[in-house]
Structures are given as structure tokens and as C-alpha cells.
Structure 1
Amino acid sequence: MPILPYQRVTPMAERPSGSETNRTAASDLADDDPRLAFIYQEAVRGLTHQQTVVENMSTRAGSLIFATAFANSLLGGAALSDGLGLWEWIAVALLFSIGGLIVFMLWPYHQYSFRFDPEELLREYVDGDGPTTMTAMHRALALRIKADMAGNWRIIQRLRMALQIALLCLLLNILAWLLAIAGV
């Protein structure tokens, strides 16, 4: 018989015998609500998706660094050959703005919640007053994941906004360099 991820497995030495086995099996069936296990798995999947979004944002910030460096080295050299005018100063200011936004996106101070603390889980669900059922654990952890996802989402929204502003600044930066080259 395959073991589902949310089923409890009792080692052979601890298995009850006789009528005790029937009562334990009946209580385990009543304890393991597959609906809560499904909800828990979906919550974990949502949290994993959120972690992927954060990793993708970091990758995009790295791509933005490359694009900014390439555009500024290519256009900036040509524009600065005549000295510093209004458009050159605007382009340099936009370059520093992009740099600041990238630092904000990549700085590792953000407090994401993607994992549970094993010590806390043991203390709360195993070593506590009484053993907690799997159904109760799935329910509590699904609600905790939801709260963690809400906290993560606020951070992700700020990072997404910073990325969008940085991309807009890059476009304006390129435009400023082009206007400086054209001598407008």
C-alpha cells in the first residue's frame, strides 16, 4: 500500500496489536482529512511559486544591470565627446537612479518567509501538551503559509514597482543620450 505524503507511518516496534490496531486505524482515518491535506499542498505550492517570482526578479535586476551598462557605455561615450550639457546631466542622473533602484532590488535585507523553523514545529506540534493531529497541523500550517505569503507579497510588490521604475528610467536614459548625441 503506497504511503501518501500526509499519512502518518508508525514504526513496526510501536505498532499496536489486536483491537488496538482497529481503533488506531479508525482514528487515523478520521484524523487525516484529505481536503485539508490538499489545501496544505496548494498553500505550499503557492509559497513555492512566490519564491520563484522573487528569484526571477533578481534575475531581471541582473539583466537590467547588463542592459544599463551596455547602453551607457555605447551611447555615453559618443555623447560625452562634446562635453557635459543638459541632456548629458539628465542621462547621468538617470543612470544613478537606475543604480539606486537596482541596489534596492538586490540588497539582501528583505525578510521573506519561505520556510518553517523545524525547532518551532517540533515544539508546537510534537513536544507540546499533547500530540497534534495531521489535520490540525495541515490547517494551522496552511493558515500560517497564507500569512507568510501576504507578508512576502508586500515586499514583492515594492520590488516589482522598483523594477518597473528602473526600466522606465533606462528608456529615458537612452533617450537622453540620443538627444545629447543629436545635439538637441
Structure 2
Amino acid sequence: MAERPSGGESNGIAAGSFADDDPRLAFIYQEAVRGLTQQQNLVENMSTRAGSLIFATAFANSLLGGAALANGLGLWDWIAVALLFAIGGLIVFMLWPYHQYTFRFDPEELLHQYVDGDRPATMSAMRRALALRIKADMASNWRIIQRLRVALQIALFFLLFDILAWLLAIAGV
């Protein structure tokens, strides 16, 4: 009859597999994941702001544009319309889903790289490698986020100039 390991031996195996689990690496990995999650929330926030910009632009242009265009088309009307199209273009740029964000790992790739190989990786090695990969993904995402942030800022300035142009058109300047 085959002998089974006693409770102490099986606990030793389990404890041995976790002996490699460095709490410092676990903390660093958790912070990396937290940073990536915050970055994802920032992207969602930017999309929400772009939606608010759509509403503000539509409201301002419908309210002021109607009053300004009652007097005919003048220079300020054309400037306001051009700014409206510029804002629309920037909003499309911000909301178009072509951006290549990286917020997740591919489970199949993780299994192949860390579990199914000749030497499965330890938890510490996985956390270290994944924390470095998250850092690279965050840097890649940040370049996209910066472009979107600049587009949002420009669109907000255009909205202010658009409102000013409509007001000048209404005033007949």
C-alpha cells in the first residue's frame, strides 16, 4: 500500500511553495495594478468629459447661434461655425475607439509564459515580470492619454472662443 504524506509533510510542501512569495514584490505588484486601474479610470473620465463637452457645445450653439443668425451671416457667424466644426472634430478624435490601450493581460499568454513552460515561474518572479510589464503598458497608455488631454483642452478653449464669437455676432460688432 502506498504511503500518504502526513499532514506535516503536505503543509511543508505548501509552505515551501509560498516561501518564495516576497511580500515586497506583492506590494509593488499591487501598486502597479492600482496605478493601471487609476489610469483606466482617467481614460473613462476623459470620455465623460468629452460627452459633457458635446452637451455644452450643442447648448451654447443652439442658444446663441439662433439669435446671432437672425441678423444674417457675418464674419463672427462664420468664425463661430468654423469653431463649432473644430470642436466637433476634436470630440470625434477623443471618442473614436481606435486607441490601443493596454489595461489587461492575455490569460493564454500568461499560462504559456508562467505556468505551462518547462519551469513554471514562482509567484515572486511572476509579480516582478508583470509589474515591469504594467509599467511599460502605463507608459504606452500615457502617450495616448496626453494627446487626448491636449485635444480636450484645445476643444474647451475653442468652445470659449465660439461663445465669444456668437456674442460678438449678436452684438453686431
What TM-score do you get using the length of structure 1 for normalisation?
A: 0.88
* CA-CA distance at 1:27 after TM superposition: 2.9
Q: Which residue pairs with 1:5 in the alignment? A: none
Q: Please state if 1:41 is matched with 2:23.
A: no
Q: Please state if 1:122 is matched with 2:83.
A: no
Q: Please state if 1:102 is matched with 2:91.
A: yes
Q: Which residue pairs with 2:62 in the alignment? A: 73
Tell me, in whole angstroms, the C-alpha distance in 1 between the residues paired with 2:84 and 2:5: 70
Q: Which residue pairs with 1:142 in the alignment? A: 131
Q: What residue identity is the alignment partner of 2:167?
A: L
Q: Please state if 1:175 is matched with 2:130.
A: no
Cα distance 1:90–1:16, how it changes in 2: closer, same or farther (>3 A)? farther
Q: What residue identity is the alignment partner of 1:30?
A: A
What TM-score do you get using the length of structure 2 for normalisation?
A: 0.93
Q: Which residue pairs with 1:28 in the alignment? A: 17
* CA-CA distance at 1:28 after TM superposition: 2.7
Identity of matched residues, %: 84
Q: Which residue pairs with 2:49 in the alignment? A: 60
Within the candidate set 86, 91, 94, 2:75 is matched to 86
RMSD (Å), alpha carbons? 1.5
Q: Runs of 4 or more off by more than 2 Å in structure 1?
A: 15-30
Tell me, in whole angstroms, the C-alpha distance in 2 between the residues paired with 1:16 and 1:113: 45
Tell me, in whole angstroms, the C-alpha distance in 2 between the residues paired with 1:66 and 1:16: 68
Cα distance 1:16–1:65, how it changes in 2: closer, same or farther (>3 A)? farther
Cα distance 1:17–1:146, how it changes in 2: closer, same or farther (>3 A)? farther
Which digits, 9 at most, give the CA deviation of each residue in 1:44-66, with x for residues without a partner? Answer: 00000000000000000000000
Q: Which runs of 5+ in 1 are unaligned?
A: 1-14
Q: Please state if 1:154 is matched with 2:135.
A: no
Tell me, in whole angstroms, the C-alpha distance in 2 between the residues paired with 1:140 and 1:94: 47
* CA-CA distance at 1:177 after TM superposition: 0.2
Tell me, in whole angstroms, the C-alpha distance in 2 between the residues paired with 1:86 and 1:16: 89
SS at match of 1:82: coil
* CA-CA distance at 1:130 after TM superposition: 1.1
Tell me, in whole angstroms, the C-alpha distance in 2 between the residues paired with 1:16 and 1:35: 32
* CA-CA distance at 1:68 after TM superposition: 0.2
SS at match of 1:31: coil
SS at match of 2:103: coil
Tell me, in whole angstroms, the C-alpha distance in 2 between the residues paired with 1:24 and 1:33: 17
- How many residue pairs get matched? 170
* CA-CA distance at 1:20 after TM superposition: 4.5
